[in-house]
């Protein structure tokens, strides 16, 4: 019983090795529990360092803060800023995502991304539930709770976090295939098909939630929002028609399959890059409108500088994410030459 409890709190990446060492060195359940608990903090810290990628964490912060209304303009007379209201649920959601990184097991990336988004959503719901309890008890000002419009806006974080979490780790991309070329390519086709369906589902969610938000709350940027939704619909059609990798002909020789593999790897890489820029186009527009342009109109240099810095940082994170993946694909292409047919 003690061994199972210790095993549960150990990160999966080091669970087997640590439990083996503890089984050999510990003479009693009490010693096993003490040594196991002593091992957890450094192992968790090490796994957090290894599993967390700067571009992903940065984009998760941007997604949550924006979808929780952190960049929205504050209404006159509101005692709590939108940034402060967004910071609390964002912080709790990031803690949940960090724990997901630490205790993540090797699994389907699309499934992992879904549970990443679900974890963040549950953390936000828990924080808002607690906030409403405190408000009902009179301990907290009602302004700390998210408004109805921001609750709808927060729903947009789920599909974007899902697609972000569904990206394969660069280490998995660059890994040398351990099976014949044709079989490895078929698995690649299957993975892209599953990811493509997930992106289509995410786009459908965004179109539905955004359409409701624009129709129900009619924000000043509604015309721009409808144009974005039109673009999302076009992307959805493209993904349905050409998003997944092409299957290899059954009678193809190894040279044909290898050439097709290289072509599709490069095409999928370009497609992912364009998709990620497209995902964040509304956020770029929001940063420009709510920070830079508003700062210019109100003669607030700090807001202008902050907005420009945020735009450049967001662009850097997107490009860094693509660069890491592109490097992994380059190594993958080099490894394909050594894969048997």
pLDDT tens profile 230-278? 999 999 999 999 998 898 888 888 888 888 888 988 898 888 888 888 8
CA separation for the pair 300, 308 (Å, rounded) = 13
Counting residues of the chain whose pLDDT is more than 90, the rounded percentage is 41
Q: What is the pLDDT of residue 293?
A: 92
- The span from the CA of 287 to the CA of 70, in Å, is 11
Does 341 score more than 60 pLDDT? Answer: no
> How many other CB atoms are there within 10 angstroms of residue 338's CB atom?
9
- Strand residue runs (E) in the chain: none
CA distance linking residue 312 with residue 303, whole number of Å: 14
Residues 51, 13: Cα–Cα separation, whole Å: 10
pLDDT at residue 308, as a whole number? 95
Q: Where are the alpha helices (DSSP H) in 26-53?
A: 29-51
Give the closest residue to 209 by CA, choosing from 166, 151, 273: 151
pLDDT recorded at residue 225? 87
Average pLDDT rounded to a whole number, residues 185-193: 89
77-123 residue pLDDT tens: 778 889 999 999 999 999 999 988 888 776 688 898 999 999 999 99
- CA–CA distance, 34 with 2 (Å, rounded to integer): 10
Asked whether the predicted pLDDT for residue 54 surpasses 90, the reply is no
pLDDT in tens, 262-273: 898 889 888 888
pLDDT band at 310, cuts 50/70/90? Answer: very high
**Distance from C-alpha of 314 to C-alpha of 318, rounded to nearest angstrom:** 6
- Cα of first residue to Cα of last residue in the chain, in angstroms, is 48
Q: For residues 176 and 53, what is the distance between their CA atoms, to the nearest angstrom?
A: 22
Residue owning tokens 């002909």? 249
Model pLDDT, residue 2: 63
Asked if the model's pLDDT at residue 316 lies above 90, the reply is yes
Q: Indicate whether 42 pLDDT > 90.
A: no
pLDDT digits (tens, 9 = 90+) for 142-181: 989 998 999 999 999 999 999 998 887 766 665 666 567 7
pLDDT(315) > 70: yes
Find tokens 């509304």 and name the residue: 282
d(CA 265, CA 269): 6
Predicted structure pTM score: 0.88
Whole-number mean pLDDT of the chain? 86
Would you place residue 53 in the very low, low, confident or very high pLDDT band (cuts 50, 70, 90)?
confident
State mean pLDDT over 118-138: 95
Question: Does residue 15 contact residue 7 with C-beta atoms inside 8 Å?
Answer: yes
What is the pLDDT at residue 197? Answer: 93
Q: Who has greater pLDDT, 5 or 64?
A: 64
- What pLDDT band is residue 25 in, cutting at 50, 70 and 90? confident
Which tokens sit at 100?
A: 């997901």
Q: Which residue did the predictor score with more confidence, 330 or 206?
A: 206
Among 61-70, 283-292, 323-332, the minimum mean pLDDT is found in 323-332
Residue length of the chain: 341
**Both tokens of residue 13?**
């990446």
Which backbone phi and psi does 156 adopt, to 5 degrees?
A: -70, -20
Residue with tokens 């994170």: 317
pLDDT (0 to 100) of residue 118: 95
Domain ranges of the chain: 1-51, 52-166, 169-341
- Give the pLDDT band (50/70/90) at residue 207: very high
Proportion of the chain above pLDDT 70, given as a percent:
93
């Amino acid at each position: 019983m003690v061994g199972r409890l210790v095993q549960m709190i150990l990160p999966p990446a080091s669970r087997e090795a640590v439990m083996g060492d503890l089984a050999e060195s510990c003479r009693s359940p009490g010693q096993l529990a003490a040594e196991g608990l002593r091992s957890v903090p450094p192992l968790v810290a090490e796994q957090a360092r290894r599993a967390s990628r700067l571009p992903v964490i940065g984009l998760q912060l941007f997604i949550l803060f924006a979808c929780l209304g952190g960049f929205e303009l504050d209404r006159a007379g509101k005692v709590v800023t939108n940034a402060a209201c967004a910071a609390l649920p964002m912080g709790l959601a990031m803690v949940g995502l960090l724990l997901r990184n630490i205790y993540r097991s090797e699994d389907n990336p699309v499934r992992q991304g879904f549970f990443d988004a679900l974890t963040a959503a549950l953390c936000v719901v828990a924080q808002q539930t607690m906030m409403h309890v405190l408000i009902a008890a009179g301990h907290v000002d009602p302004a700390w709770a998210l408004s109805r419009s921001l609750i709808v806006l927060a729903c947009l974080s789920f599909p974007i976090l899902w697609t972000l979490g569904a990206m394969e780790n660069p280490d998995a991309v660059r890994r040398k295939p351990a099976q014949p070329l044709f079989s490895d390519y078929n698995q690649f086709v299957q993975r892209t098909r599953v990811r493509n369906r997930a992106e289509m589902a995410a786009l459908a969610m965004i179109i539905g939630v955004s359409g409701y938000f624009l129709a129900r709350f009619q924000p000043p940027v509604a015309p721009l929002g409808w144009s974005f939704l039109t673009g999302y619909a076009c992307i959805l059609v493209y993904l349905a028609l050409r998003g997944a990798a092409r299957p290899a002909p059954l009678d193809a020789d190894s040279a044909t399959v290898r050439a097709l593999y290289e072509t599709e790897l490069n095409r999928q890489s370009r497609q992912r890059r364009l998709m990620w820029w497209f995902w964040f186009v509304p956020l770029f527009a929001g940063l420009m409108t709510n920070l830079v342009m508003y700062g210019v109109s109100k003669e607030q240099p700090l807001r202008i500088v902050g907005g420009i810095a945020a735009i450049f940082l967001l662009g850097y994170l997107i490009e860094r994410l693509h660069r890491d993946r592109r490097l992994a694909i380059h190594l993958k292409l080099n490894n394909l030459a050594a894969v048997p047919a």
